[in-house]
Amino acid sequence: MVLVIINMKKICLIFLFLISFSASFYGEEGYAFKELYEIEVELNGSDRDSINEGMKLAFKDLMLSLSSNSEINTYPAIAGAVRDSEKYISEYRLSSENENILAVFSFNGEVVRKLLSDNNLPMWLGIKPKVLLFLPCKSDSFLMIDHQEILVKRQEVCSEVKSTLSKQGSMRNIVFIEPVLDLIDLKYINLYEPRLDQEFLNKISSRYGLKDWMICYIQNEYGIFISEFLCLSPVSGFKKISLNSMVDLLADELSKDFQLNIDDFGRPDWSSIDPRTYPIAPAGMIANAHPLAPIITTRGCPYSCTYCSAPITAGKRMRYRDPKNVVDEIEMLVNDYGVKEIQIEDDNFTLSRKHCMTICEEILKRDIKVLLSLPNGVRIDKLDKEMLLLLKKAGFVFYQEFRQE
């Protein structure tokens, strides 16, 4: 098999049998994360038009994988990026297999993440949720006797279902776990007549420490193999739907935990934690003025700095508050509680340039006079002169000294 590698910066063809990538090629992601940004698709041909169409398809698959949002490619910013997908690609590889032409597109992780963060779109780089998969690979038919031919066919079909689920699950960030299906499992679940009561669900969930499960069917009640695999789960209202539809439904439901609009949580009850009643002491590292109040405008950080716990405690997926909502809270703290300093406790406040700049512009628009600080710091590679000048103009300061007043 001949493998062709095309570098998008230096258009060249290299014929290789063995390829070794250095971690630095993928920048800060490192080799361990390269698969997050690699997508394989089948092409209609090896001509330029087919490759371009493959790029767009791969980019759509990447957006779906990183966001686990089935509607992500309908968003205007992403739809526009799809049309210009070539600029997000570092390289691609072509190969042939059984007369099929395959392409593996490697995307620039930093540029892709910037696209998502600049448009305040969800990015799922954290732990993948697990779902219990009950697959009846033993017949419960009362009209057919399991001959060897049927047993072989059933195992082939089961392998096909598992392969499909593995591929779909990988794309939608779900890991399917098969139970042992021992006598204890079968006491609680009948693969052909699922019980719908809550007690049953709790018992199944508690045994494996998981709350989500699905059953996939490969035969009907008469033991005849079906052409379209059907699945049933609580998220489908216990109705049988197609396997692909079930995976999409599960992924959309599970990803809600990572796509929460943190504005929906509401603000803290500041009347119960009146900033004026606290002693003169820093909420973060050092304070410049009192009273002060800590707030957050985002949660999460997509990076994996070895000294930082943020990816574990807050997750890698960024969640953003609405900038107007943020400034509403700042204005309320200044007017109602006389707050002199706002400490923004975000783990990566400047990650989204748009989010940061919009907050600064809104503060200036309302002419709010207050010191602002970032005790958790910022990434230097996410700063530029224009942003720094706007931060200063809006009232952001560096810590200079801690004064007892």
Top mean pLDDT of 202-206, 241-245, 316-320 is at 241-245
Q: Identify the pLDDT of residue 69.
A: 77
User: Which whole number is the average pLDDT over 80-94?
Assistant: 92
User: Which whole number is the average pLDDT over 371-380?
Assistant: 90
User: Which whole number is the average pLDDT over 83-92?
Assistant: 92
Q: Identify the pLDDT of residue 32.
A: 35
242-256, pLDDT tens digit by residue?
A: 988 999 888 888 876
Q: Identify the pLDDT of residue 263.
A: 79
In the chain, what percentage of residues exceed pLDDT 70? 78
Contact 42, 97 (CB under 8 A): no
330-372, pLDDT tens digit by residue?
A: 999 999 999 999 999 999 999 888 899 999 999 999 999 999 9
Q: What SS3 string covers the chain?
A: CCEEEEECCCCCEEEECCCCCCHHHHHHHCHHHHHHHEEEEEECCCCHHHHHHHHHHHHHHHHHHHHCCCCHHHCHHHHHHHHCHHHHEEEEEEEEECCEEEEEEEECHHHHHHHHHHCCCCCCCCCCCEEEEECCCCCCCCCCCCCHHHHHHHHHHHHHHHHHHHHHHHHCCCEEECCCCCHHHHHHCCCCCCCCCHHHHHHHHHHHCCCCEEEEEEECCCCCEEEEEEEECHHHCCCCEEHHHHHHHHHHHHHHHHCCCHHHHCCCCCCCCCHHHCCCCCCCCCCCCCCEEEECCEECCCCCCCCCCHHHHCCCCCEECCHHHHHHHHHHHHHHHCCCEEEECCCCCCCCHHHHHHHHHHHHHHCCCCEEECCCCCCHHHCCHHHHHHHHHHCECCCCCCCCC
Top mean pLDDT of 39-53, 124-138, 206-220 is at 39-53
Backbone phi, then psi, for 354, in 5-degree steps?
Answer: -60, -45
Higher pLDDT, 175 or 26: 175
Q: Identify the pLDDT of residue 145.
A: 52
177-200, pLDDT tens digit by residue?
A: 888 777 777 777 666 555 555 666
7-46, pLDDT tens digit by residue?
A: 554 443 333 332 333 333 333 333 334 456 889 999 999 8
Q: Identify the pLDDT of residue 312.
A: 79
Q: Identify the pLDDT of residue 331.
A: 97
Q: Identify the pLDDT of residue 23.
A: 31
210-220, pLDDT tens digit by residue?
A: 878 888 888 77
Q: Identify the pLDDT of residue 55.
A: 95
Q: Identify the pLDDT of residue 25.
A: 31
Q: Identify the pLDDT of residue 9.
A: 46
In the chain, what percentage of residues exceed pLDDT 90? 31
Distance CA 279, CA 312 (A): 31
Q: Identify the pLDDT of residue 401.
A: 44
Q: Identify the pLDDT of residue 303.
A: 80
Higher pLDDT, 34 or 94: 94
259-297, pLDDT tens digit by residue?
A: 556 777 788 999 999 999 987 765 555 778 889 999 999
Q: Identify the pLDDT of residue 257.
A: 62
CATH topology of domain 262-394: Transcription Regulator spoIIAA (3.30.750)
Q: Identify the pLDDT of residue 193.
A: 58
Residue 404 predicted with pLDDT over 60? no
Q: Identify the pLDDT of residue 198.
A: 60
* Average pLDDT taken over every residue of the chain: 79
Domain boundaries, the chain: 3-118, 130-258, 262-394
